[in-house]
Amino acid sequence: MILFLIYSILVYVYSDQHGQGSSPSGAAYAGWMVWQEHNCHACHQLYGLGGYMGPDLTNIAADEIKGKPAYLKVFIKYGSANMPDFHLSDLEADQLLAFLKWVNDSGHSAVAKESVHWSGTYIF
Amino acid sequence: MIQIDRLFARFSLSMLMLSIVAGVTASFAYLFPATFNGILPFHQFRPIHASAALFWIITGAACCVSYFSKRRSATFMVIWMVSIVLIFISYFFNRYGGREYWEFPPLLNLPLLIGWLFFMAAFIRKFSEEAPVYTWMWTSGIIFFLLTFLEQNLYHVPWFRASFLREVTVQWKANGSMVGAWNQMINGLSVVLLMVIGNNKGPAISKKAYFLFFLGLFNLMFNWGHHIYNVPNNNWMRGVAYGVSMTEWIILILIIRDFRRTLDHGRKLRHLVVYRFISAAELWVFANLFLALLMSIPAINRHTHGTHITVAHAMGTTIGINTMLLLAAFGQMMDIDQIADRTKRWILFAIRLNNASLAVFWLSLILAGLLKGYLTVDHADAVFSEVMLKVRPFLEAFTASGLGVMIALGIIACIYLKNTGRISYEDD
């Protein structure tokens, strides 16, 4: 039990050593709330965690075409053939964009082939 | 008290019914979004299914542990059931908390926590160090459920939300260990059942049983990392999880080594309905453990993470192992082997139907996951909608076999719900 508690604290402290290092902006934090209140993870993944109906959105903000704010905002606001219209306001759509940009800045979801170590683990 | 106990058992079984019906409907909503989006879209079905499944497992485990340990808390049962009803009411009004498996508004975690504390207080009051292995399993399961439940809620502390990587790591650390916690509770039940139906105390006091208990506990605490292998945090986290996970090969080797003995044992107990559930679970333990071991190797996880293989593992374990063992425990509580032969035949038919359907269900998800993994990892420029189109035939097979699972578990749940009056309590 003591070992578990010590290990847990180490994980809490060191789980962001290589990451973004910056806290979410007010808009990104509000976008995170929008993400949760509309249960977006039921269909979308972040870092491969979440639902399977829609694409993984970890690095969508970095996509040269789909990541353009205007393009992404149309999807967020009106949905698609598979995604329902959540009737989000312009402000909520902008907040979601800020959240997705913040998530993108935290790292890459896909693991490059070069990161696979001979022992089977990844070295980032 | 007995009225509440029986209501609690019925409530658990109702969660199973709700879970399978919502699960199958959700899979249709997944296949035909255009039809369902206007009525009840997939993102509304999924929380109903996931929460019902989660509460079937936890409530069922708590109900059976309370019964076999004779340590019951009516306060826990009432608070727990009311909280779950409130959770489903919140879904009805589209109120979500948006966390994987805990998709309800976070305020409802409070009554769940209070209820669990009552359960824990009732259970731990009588703990002794010379207790048999199943008591150790139940105790560690109940304590670690509390710890991981609290950990799951650490995101309310702003420091945890200041970094997305930390938040996602802690969330999945808690989720991963929590699964281990309820597995401990359910594994403890299987030890009791083997002891009772085999009329042999061996499974509860053998060195092997204690070894497996400690191995399970060790993995509960440290092997959760496969959920977040691809999250760019410290390399040592992956190393620890990878190394610890590999200790589970020992369990697989023991299962293979003991296969002949298990078969002999099975021949003697084959006539018992309760044993049929246990032997079905043993088969799925082997299959899912093998799958889990492969997924715990990061180089393989690179292709399986975020694919339907994860779902195959999650559903394979909840339906094939947890549900089978809980149904065995409920069956023992109802003395189901003394029920009318005609009803017993229905249960045996349902077990066979469930096994066959689950096999197709499980394999379809694995094949869907393999294809998705290959297309998304090795062909990173593949368009998502085209990948899903290629995967679709496997998901159609998954949905069709899901109907078989629903019918099979539905038959058993209905029979059990009709027979909860057969559960006898010592204060009867």
Distance from the B373 Cα atom to the nearest Cα atom in chain A, whole angstroms: 11
Question: pLDDT tens digit string along B313-358?
Answer: 999 999 999 999 999 999 999 999 888 999 999 999 999 999 999 9
The answer to whether the Cβ–Cβ distance between B234 and A106 falls below 8 Å is no
Longest Cα separation, chain B: 66
- Facing B297 at nearest CB: one of A19, A52, A120: A120
pLDDT digits (tens, 9 = 90+) for A10-49: 999 988 876 556 789 999 999 999 999 999 999 999 999 9
What is the pLDDT at residue A23?
A: 87
Give the whole-number percent of chain B exceeding pLDDT 90: 71
Contacts of A62 in chain B (CB under 8 A): none
Query: Could you give the 3-state DSSP secondary structure of residue A116?
Result: strand
Instruction: Give the model confidence (pLDDT) of B60-109 as tens digits.
Output: 999 999 999 988 899 999 999 999 999 999 999 999 988 888 999 999 99
**ipTM surpassing 0.90, yes or no?**
yes
| CA distances in angstroms from B288 to B143, B251, B317, B321, listed in the order given | 25, 12, 6, 9
Report the sign of the C-alpha dihedral through residues B324, B82, A33, B173, in that order. negative
Q: Which CATH class is domain A23-108?
A: mainly alpha
The residue written with tokens 């294809």 in the block is B371
CB-based contact B193:B278 (threshold 8 Å): yes
Residue B271 pLDDT greater than 80, yes or no: no
- In this predicted structure, what is the pLDDT of residue B155? 94
What does the mean pLDDT of chain B come to? 91
CB contact under 8 A, A39 and B96: yes
Question: What residues does each domain of chain B span?
Answer: 1-125, 129-247, 267-428
Q: Given pLDDT bands bounded at 50, 70 and 90, which one contains residue B199?
A: confident
Q: Give B37's pLDDT tier (boundaries 50, 70, 90).
A: confident
> What are the residue boundaries of the structural domains of chain A, listed by start?
23-108
Question: What pTM did the predictor assign?
Answer: 0.93
Q: Which has the closest alpha carbon to B403: B103, B2, B23, B97?
A: B23
Q: Enumerate the residues of chain A whose CB falls inside 8 A of the CB of residue B237.
A: 11, 14-15
Residue in A19, A53, A121 nearest the CB of B163: A19
pLDDT at B428 > cutoff 60 = no
User: String of b and e for A81-118 (b: at least 16 CB within 10 Å)?
Assistant: ebbbebebeeebbbbbbbbbbbbbbbbebbbeeebeee
What DSSP element (H or E) covers B141?
Answer: helix B133-152
**Which distant-in-sequence residues (6+ apart) come within 8 Å of A64 by Cβ?**
none
Query: Of B96, B103, B168, which is closest to A46 when you measure between CB atoms?
Result: B168
In 10 A of CB B22, how many CB atoms?
23
pLDDT attached to residue B129:
72
H helices present in B70-132, as ranges: 74-92, 109-124
